[in-house]
Structure 1
Amino acid sequence: MQYISTRGGMQPQPFSETLLEGLAPDGGLAVPEQLPQVDAETLERWRALTYPQLATEVLALFATDIPREDLAGMTAAAYADFPDEVVPLRSVGGGITLVGLSEGPTLAFKDMAMQFLGQVLEYVLERKDRVLNIVGATSGDTGSAAEHALRGKERVSVFMLSPQGRMSAFQRAQMYSLDDANVHNIAVAGVFDDCQNLVKQLSGDIEFKRAQHLGAVNSINLGRIAAQVVYYFWAWLRVTDGVEPEYREGFEVSFTVPSGNFGNILSGFFAKGMGVPIRRLVLAANENNVLDEFFRTGVYRPRSAADTHATSSPSMDISKASNLERFIFDLVGRDATGVVDAWKALDTDGFFDFSAQQPRFEGEFGIVSGTSTHADRLATIRSVHEESGEIIDPHTADGVKVAREFIEQDVPMLVLETAKPQKFAETITEAIGVELPLSPELREMMDAPQHVTEMADDEQVLRAFVAEHALH
C-alpha cells in the first residue's frame, strides 16, 4: 500500500513515511493510491475478534510496511486501559444506538485514534532513529488526546495550539494541567481556524519543516483516519451480531457523525469504500454549518474568524475543514488538478462551487447533512435523558438531533458518541438541571496549576517559539 498527495506533487510512499510527514510536501493530504477492499467472507471471519485484534486486521491493510506482529503489539498497548469491550454500543431510544467512543483516558473519541498514533509514532521514530516535533491545532479534544498519548515520549515533542477562551474549562484543564517537558500548550488569540492556519503555514514551509523535524497529529495525519476506520467495522459487526447469518451480507446501517474538521466522517467514507455496508453517512453540524451548507448546495464557503460562532459544542466551532480535501479528491475523480483548481478558487473568491455535482453526494456517496443549534442541543439532551436515562454531551446531542431527521425503517441508525458529558458540565446543568459529579482524580486535574503560553496570532512568533523548544 502506497500513499499519494491529493495535489499530485508527492511520490508514492509507504505508511510509515506518510505518518511522519503530516501535510504532503505540495501542501496536499496523503491518501491511499487505492482503498483496500474487504469482502463479506472476511467480515464474517473478523466477527469474533476483540477490538484490538480487529484494529490489527484493519490497520494491517493500510500499514503494509509494518510487520503484523508489531502492529498487534501496538494495538494491544493502545487499548489496554480501555474497558474490555473498548467500544460499547447502547440504545438511547427512538431507534438510535450510540457508538461509545469516549472510554479512553481523555473521555473523548479522539483517544480511539490517538492512543494508536502514540504507539506507532514511537515505533517508527525508534527504527528510523529520528525525532518529531508535533505542531497541532485543537478546538478542544484533539489537543488533550494527543498530549496524553505522547506525554513523556523521548523522541516526540508536542506544540499544541488552542483558541483562547473557546474551550470548556474541563478541556483547558485536561491540556494545561500537564507539566511534561515535551508538552507545550500555546493559547492563540483567535479561533480554531486561526490556529489551523498557523499550523499549515509552518508545515507548508518545507525548509523550516525539515529543519525543525515537524509533523502533525491533527486529522490531516493519515494514521488518525486509518485508526478511526476500525470502529465503523466494529459497530457494523456488533449491530449485525443480532441478524440471522443468512441476512448479514450487505445488511445496511447508517451512521450520524458530529462533524467539525471532517476527519471522523471521512473515516466512515473510507470504511464504506472498503466494503462496510453503510447506507448513509449523516453529517451533523452546529451553528458553524459550513459543511452542512456544502452538502446541501454544493457550494463551500468558509467563514472568517469573526463570523465563526462560539457555541456550546465548541469542538465543532470550525469553519474550514481540512479533511474535506480528501473527499474533493474523490469527487473530482482522483484528479489532483481538480483539487488544486478548487483551492485556487477558494483563495481567490472565498468559495468553490460543486453544485452541479451535489446530487452525487447522496446518490453516489451516501452523504447527507443537517444543522443543530444550542436550543436543539438542550432539547435533545433532555429528551434522551427522559427516554433512556442516558446523559449525552452537547456534540453527541448535535448528532442525535440530526440523526432523527434521517431515520429509515429497517435501517439501524448509529450515532458516534463524541465525549463524556462531564467535559461540558455547564451545558448539561442548563439542559437537565443536574450537576455531574467529578471523580477525585478529575477534581484534582481541575484544581491543578495550568501551564500555557499565550500568544498572538503571529506566524513569526510561533516560528521562534518552536525553533527554541524543538527536539533535534
Structure 2
Amino acid sequence: MKYVSTRGAQNLGGFCDVLLLGLAPDGGLAMPGRIPTFGPEQIEALRGLSYPELAYAVMRPFIDDIPETDLKRLLNDTYRAEVFGHPDIAPLTALGDSGLYLLELSNGPSLAFKDMAMQFLGQVFEYVLERRGEHLNILGATSGDTGSAAEYAMLGKARVNVFMLSPHGRMSAFQQAQMFSLREPNIFNIAVEGVFDDCQDLVKAVNADAGFKERYEIGAVNSINWARVLAQAVYYFKGYFALGLPAGAEADFCVPSGNFGNVFAGYLARSMGLPIGQLVVASNENDVLHEFFTTGTYHVRPAARVAVTSSPSMDIGKASNFERYLYLITGASLGTVSGAQTLAWWQDVGEGRPVNLAGTPHWDAVRASRFVAGRSTHADRLNTIREVDAEFGRLIDPHTADGVFVARPHRRSGVPMVCLETALPIKFEDTVREAVGRSPERPTKFGGIEALERQFTVMDNDVEALKAFVAGRLDDRRRDAQG
C-alpha cells in the first residue's frame, strides 16, 4: 500500500514512512492510495474475532511493510485486558430499551478514547524506530485528551521525546494534572497562550519548516497521523458486531467531534464495507461541523470566536481531519479523488474564506455520504447527564452527553444507535457534580492527582519561540547523551 497527500503529493511511501512523517511535504495529510474493501461474506467472517484479531484483519490491508508475525505481536501487546480494564477492550452497553448504546472506549491508561489508538502508536513507534535505528521527536497539540494519552503511551520509550502543546487554562483540572504532573525526561508540556487551534497551527507551522523538521526529527501523534485514524476504525467493527445484528443490517453511530478524526474513522470503516447507516456528528457551541453538514458551508472560526465550554476537548474551530473527508468526497463527486481540489479549498480556509459546497456536485456527494449533525449547549449537557444517570444508572462525561443528546432525535425505528463514549466522567468532575450533585468514581491510581506538583512551560503563540524551545531541549539531551 502506497500513500499520497490530500493536497496532491504522490509517493509518500508505505505505512511505516507516513507513521513517522507527520504532515506531507505539501502540507497535506497522508492517505492510502486506495481504500481496501470487504465484501459481505468477508465482513461476516470477522464476526467473533478477539479485539487483536479484529484489529489485524482491519488494519493489515493498509500495513504491508511490517511482517505478519510482527504486526500480530504488536497488536496483541497493545490490546490487552490489563491495559484496557476489560477482556472485550471496547465493551458495548445498552441504555435500557431506548435503542441507544454506549461503546465504552475510555478504560485505558488516560481514561479517554484516545488510548485506543495511542497505545498502538506507542508500540509501533518503538518497533519502527528500533528497526531503523532512528529517533523521533513528537510535536503534538491537545485540547485535553490527546496529550495525556500520548504521554502515557510514550512513557519509557527511549527513542521518543514528546513536546505537547495545550491551550493555557482551557483544560479541566484533571486533564491538566494528568499531563503536567508527569516528571519524565522525555516529556515536555507547553501551555500556549491561546486556544487549541493556535496549538494546532503551531504544530503545522513547525512541520512546514522542512529543514527544522529534518534536523530535529519531528513527527506527530495528533489525528493528522494516519495510524491514529486507522486504529480507531477498528472499534467501529467491534461495536457493530457486539450488537448481534443479522448479516448486512445497518447500525447508526453518533460521535462527539471537534477535530473530526474519530468520526472520520467511522467513515473509513463504512468505506471498507461495514454496514454503518448514519454517521451523526455531535458538536457543542463550537459548531463548525454542524454548520457544514446542515448548510454546506465550512467556515473556520478564528481563535477569538472559539467558545470556552463544559465539553472543552471539542472547543475547536478548525477540524484538521475534515480535509481527509473532503479529499474523498471529490472522488465521489468527480469520479476521481483530487488533491488539487483539496489544496484549493484549504488555501481558501487558510485565508479565512469559507468553503461553500451547497448546490455543487460535491454537496450531492456529501449528502450521499449520510452524515447528519446536531449541536448542544451547557444546559443540554447537564440535563443529559442527569437523565442518563436517573434512567439508566450510568454517569457519562459532558462530551459523551453531547453525543447522547444529539443522537436521540436522529434515531431510526428498528436501527440501533451506538454513541461513542469519549472519556470517563471523573475527567470533568465539576460539570458532572453540577449535573447530579455528586462526584463520579475516581480510579485509585488517580487519587489526589490535582494536588501533585506540576511541571510545564507557558509560552506565547509564537512559532519561533516554540522552535527555539524544542531545539534547546533536544540539543541539551544530545549533549547529555554524549557525556
TM range (shorter): over 0.9
Cross-structure match for 2:425: 421
1:33 equivalent to 2:36? Answer no
* 1:168-190 deviations in Å (ceiling 9; x for gaps): 00000111111110000000011
CA distance in structure 1 between the partners assigned to 2:386 and 2:157 by the alignment: 42
In structure 2, stretches of 5+ residues that fail to align are: 332-336, 479-483
Match among 200, 206, 209 for residue 205 of structure 1: 209
Cross-structure match for 1:381: 385
Residue 152 of structure 1 deviates from its aligned partner by 1.5
Letter in 2 for 1:275: G
Letter in 1 for 2:212: F
Letter in 2 for 1:95: G
> Could you tell me the TM-score, scaled by structure 2's length?
0.94
Cross-structure match for 1:184: 188
1:124 equivalent to 2:128? Answer yes
In structure 1, stretches of 5+ residues that fail to align are: none
Cross-structure match for 1:288: 286
1:260 equivalent to 2:294? Answer no
1:193 equivalent to 2:191? Answer no
CA distance in structure 2 between the partners assigned to 1:302 and 1:102 by the alignment: 29
CA distance in structure 2 between the partners assigned to 1:437 and 1:232 by the alignment: 27
1:409 equivalent to 2:407? Answer no
1:92 equivalent to 2:95? Answer yes
CA distance in structure 1 between the partners assigned to 2:131 and 2:359 by the alignment: 48
1:173 equivalent to 2:173? Answer no
Cross-structure match for 1:355: 358
User: Which residues of 2 match residues 388-467 of structure 1 at below 5 A?
Assistant: 388-467=392-471
Q: Is the 8 A contact 2:2 2:11 kept in 1?
A: no
Cross-structure match for 1:47: 47
CA distance in structure 2 between the partners assigned to 1:37 and 1:302 by the alignment: 33
Residue 439 of structure 1 deviates from its aligned partner by 3.8
SS in 2 for 1:332: helix
Is 410-419 or 337-346 further displaced after alignment?
A: 337-346
Cross-structure match for 2:481: none
Residue 151 of structure 1 deviates from its aligned partner by 1.4
* 1:91-111 deviations in Å (ceiling 9; x for gaps): 124220000000101110000
1:111 equivalent to 2:115? Answer yes
Residue 350 of structure 1 deviates from its aligned partner by 2.5
Match among 201, 223, 226 for residue 222 of structure 1: 226
Match among 260, 268, 271 for residue 270 of structure 1: 268
User: Which residues of 2 match residues 321-360 of structure 1 at below 5 A?
Assistant: 321-333=319-331, 334-357=337-360, 359-360=363-364
CA distance in structure 2 between the partners assigned to 1:179 and 1:66 by the alignment: 33
1:313 equivalent to 2:316? Answer no
> Could you tell me the TM-score, scaled by structure 1's length?
0.97
Q: Is the 8 A contact 1:163 1:188 kept in 2?
A: yes
Residue 227 of structure 1 deviates from its aligned partner by 0.1
Percent identical pairs in the alignment equals: 50
CA distance in structure 1 between the partners assigned to 2:193 and 2:419 by the alignment: 33
1:60 equivalent to 2:64? Answer no
Judged with a 3 Å threshold, the aligned counterparts in structure 2 of structure 1 residues 435 and 314 are, in CA distance, closer, same or farther, namely: same
Letter in 2 for 1:266: F
Residue 45 of structure 1 deviates from its aligned partner by 2.0
Is 140-149 or 44-53 further displaced after alignment?
A: 44-53
Residue 362 of structure 1 deviates from its aligned partner by 5.7
Q: Is the 8 A contact 2:426 2:439 kept in 1?
A: no
CA distance in structure 2 between the partners assigned to 1:387 and 1:220 by the alignment: 38
Residue 71 of structure 1 deviates from its aligned partner by 1.2
Q: Is the 8 A contact 2:281 2:371 kept in 1?
A: yes
SS in 2 for 1:7: coil
CA distance in structure 2 between the partners assigned to 1:3 and 1:406 by the alignment: 35
CA distance in structure 1 between the partners assigned to 2:213 and 2:51 by the alignment: 35
**CA RMSD in angstroms, aligned pairs only:** 1.3
CA distance in structure 1 between the partners assigned to 2:17 and 2:443 by the alignment: 41
Residue 363 of structure 1 deviates from its aligned partner by 3.7
CA distance in structure 1 between the partners assigned to 2:464 and 2:366 by the alignment: 43
1:231 equivalent to 2:235? Answer yes
CA distance in structure 1 between the partners assigned to 2:65 and 2:249 by the alignment: 33
Judged with a 3 Å threshold, the aligned counterparts in structure 2 of structure 1 residues 336 and 362 are, in CA distance, closer, same or farther, namely: closer
1:158 equivalent to 2:165? Answer no
Is 22-31 or 446-455 further displaced after alignment?
A: 446-455
Q: How many correspondences in the alignment?
A: 466
Q: Is the 8 A contact 1:131 1:155 kept in 2?
A: yes
* 1:165-217 deviations in Å (ceiling 9; x for gaps): 10000000111111110000000011000000100000011111111100000
Residue 366 of structure 1 deviates from its aligned partner by 1.0
Is 4-13 or 439-448 further displaced after alignment?
A: 439-448
SS in 2 for 1:85: coil
Q: Is the 8 A contact 1:287 1:373 kept in 2?
A: yes
* 1:256-311 deviations in Å (ceiling 9; x for gaps): 00000000000001000000001100000000001110111111111111110010
Residue 337 of structure 1 deviates from its aligned partner by 1.0
Letter in 2 for 1:132: L
CA distance in structure 2 between the partners assigned to 1:19 and 1:68 by the alignment: 17
Residue 449 of structure 1 deviates from its aligned partner by 1.1
